[in-house]
């Protein structure tokens, strides 16, 4: 069990570090003028990359199987998706921010449910609640993904 937790924590660290790559170059600069006036192409590219990374995180989250250590894996996955969703919310601007916020709320609800069930002896009664919460995350991601298709066309 300790080995699984170590793997899960290593995975969380990896996913958190991966999420950091989506922060635009000017966002952390001391020069406020540079940070507030980036060219449209890098922001669009970064928004699209962040959206794609978030989609990957949510797909992984939806594939997690709740087993003996499944809640830990689920929580780690939610944390990775939350980090990416928050990054995307910063990049999204007013047009997409409400959809990113809806996704963040859905992810946080799922995390809260998983944390509550983590201390339970059995997941029995909580399985349906977790399923509903994962469905809500999926619906929020689909709504956001549909809106991001216009500025982020897929390269087939």
- Is 153 within the bounds of a domain? no
Q: What is the pLDDT of residues 13-22, one digit of tens each?
A: 444 444 444 4
The token pair that represents 143 in the structure block: 């709504």
Question: How many helices (H) and strands (E) would you count in the chain?
Answer: 5, 0
Residues 6+ apart with CB under 8 A from 145: 51, 55
Q: Identify the DSSP state of 125.
A: T
- Is 111 within the bounds of a domain? yes
pLDDT value, residue 138: 93
The token pair that represents 18 in the structure block: 């991966």
Residue 23 has pLDDT above 50, yes or no: no
- Is 110 within the bounds of a domain? yes
- Is 156 within the bounds of a domain? no
- Is 155 within the bounds of a domain? no
Residue 53 belongs to domain spanning: 2-148
Q: How much is the CA Rg of the chain, to the nearest whole Å?
A: 17
Number of domains forming the structure of the chain: 1
Q: Identify the DSSP state of 156.
A: -
- Is 119 within the bounds of a domain? yes
User: Cα–Cα distance between 41 and 45 in angstroms, integer?
Assistant: 6
Residue 112 has pLDDT above 50, yes or no: yes
Give me the percent of the chain exceeding a pLDDT of 70: 65
> Average pLDDT of the chain?
75
Which single residue is written with the structure tokens 């989506």? 22
pLDDT value, residue 47: 85
The token pair that represents 12 in the structure block: 């969380």
What phi, psi does 33 have (nearest 5°)?
Answer: -65, -45
- Is 154 within the bounds of a domain? no
pLDDT value, residue 154: 67
Q: What is the pLDDT of residues 28-73, one digit of tens each?
A: 344 334 344 444 445 555 888 999 999 999 999 888 887 656 688 8
Which single residue is written with the structure tokens 């990049």? 91
pLDDT value, residue 98: 93
Q: Is residue 22 classed exposed, middle or buried when 0-12, 13-18 and 19+ CB atoms within 10 A define those classes? A: buried
- Is 123 within the bounds of a domain? yes
pLDDT value, residue 12: 45
Q: What average pLDDT does range 101-109 have in this prediction?
A: 95
User: Cα–Cα distance between 43 and 40 in angstroms, integer?
Assistant: 5
Q: What average pLDDT does range 66-87 have in this prediction?
A: 86
């Amino acid at each position: 069990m300790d080995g699984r937790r170590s793997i899960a924590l290593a995975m969380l660290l990896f996913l958190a570090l991966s999420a950091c790559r989506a922060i635009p170059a000017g966002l952390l600069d001391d020069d406020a003028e540079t940070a507030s006036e980036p060219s449209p192409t890098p922001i669009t590219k970064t928004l699209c990359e962040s959206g794609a990374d978030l989609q990957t995180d949510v797909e992984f989250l939806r594939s997690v199987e709740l087993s003996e250590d499944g809640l830990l894996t689920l929580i780690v996955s939610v944390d990775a998706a939350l980090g990416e969703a928050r990054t995307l919310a910063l990049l999204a601007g007013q047009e997409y921010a409400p959809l990113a916020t809806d996704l963040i709320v859905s992810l946080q609800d799922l995390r809260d449910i998983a944390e509550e069930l983590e201390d339970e002896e059995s997941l029995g009664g909580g399985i349906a609640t977790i399923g509903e919460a994962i469905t809500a995350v999926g619906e929020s991601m689909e709504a956001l993904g549909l809106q991001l298709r216009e500025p982020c066309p897929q390269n087939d």
